[in-house]
Structure 1
Amino acid sequence: MNIADLVFVGFNRRVAALRRQNGEIVWEWKASHGASYVSLLLDGGTLIVSVQGYMYGLDAATGNQLWFNPMKGFGTGVTALVSLHGMSSNPLSAAAAEQAAQQASQSSNAGSTST
């Protein structure tokens, strides 16, 4: 599954990847620590997840957990996530990322067709 075909949602320490075209759940994951609000950031092929001060890295295509960091001493609350690829709280970055994914998809489709 191409991650450009997915939309990621988080509720109450749970995360799901939905098929962009029809909303079908592709994979689900539940945090082992923390409760309530979930912050998400797609950073390349890794989905960074924060749940009440606990940090997780998931494989965006499969939902498999790659890493866990309890962030001891940092406290809890709503998390702001930033990477070279975007920010969790900036809808303009999300729109730019989607446009880049669409362009990449169109380029790869154009390269795979024969004339």
Structure 2
Amino acid sequence: MQRNILIVGSNGYVSAIAGDSGDELWRTKLRDGIMGGSYGSIVSVLIDGDKIFAGCSGRLYCLDSLTGKILWNNDLKGMGYNVISLARPGISTQFLTRTETSNAG
């Protein structure tokens, strides 16, 4: 995988962004969310060599890092449809959660 590429997972998609220009190089839609849309589908990504592993809505994907082509997927049967955490020896993903509060009253 090229070093100056940023891999982004959001709303049911994985995309590759050129680090020097911000141009999108490719975009891959993963599993459809509720009612066929992808909005709100959290995507975790982990880069390992020439492969990108992505977790979305209870399914695991393996993508080609140069093209974004889905090489395989696994339904992870019996594990539900929640957020997927990914890890390899020495490599893991982290999640940030936004919490909204109201100062009214």
Common fold, TM-score beyond 0.5? yes
Deviation of 1:78 after TM superposition, in Å, equals 1.9
Structure 2, unmatched stretches of 5+, are 96-105
Does the 8 A contact of 1:58 with 1:64 survive in 2? yes
- Residue number in structure 2 paired with 1:7: 6
The reply on whether 1:83 has 2:88 as its aligned counterpart is yes
Which residue of the partner structure matches residue 100 of structure 1?
A: none
Is 49-58 or 76-85 further displaced after alignment? 76-85
Q: How many residues align?
A: 89
TM-score of the pair, normalised by structure 1: 0.70
* CA spacing shift, 1:67–1:85, aligned 2, 3 Å: farther
Stretches of 4+ moved more than 3 A in 1?
A: 32-35
- Closer/same/farther in 2, CA of residues 83 and 26 from structure 1, 3 Å limit: same
Measured against aligned partners, the alpha-carbon deviations of 1:47-76 in whole angstroms (never above 9, x if no partner) come to 001101111000111111111101100112
d(CA) in 1 for partners of 2:78 and 2:91? Answer: 25
SS in 2 for 1:50: strand
TM-score (norm 2): 0.76
Contact residue 59 and residue 65 of structure 1 kept, 8 A? yes
Alpha-carbon distance in structure 1 between the residues aligned to 2:2 and 2:71: 16
Query: Secondary structure in 2 aligned to 1:4?
Result: coil
- What residue ranges of structure 1 are gaps of 5+ in the alignment? 91-115
Quote the Cα distance in structure 2 between the aligned partners of 1:75 and 1:3. 34
Residue in 1 that maps onto 2:101: none
Whose helix fraction is larger, Structure 1's or Structure 2's?
1
Counterpart position of 1:24: 23
Percent identity, aligned pairs only, is 33
Confirm whether residue 58 of structure 1 aligns to residue 63 of structure 2. yes
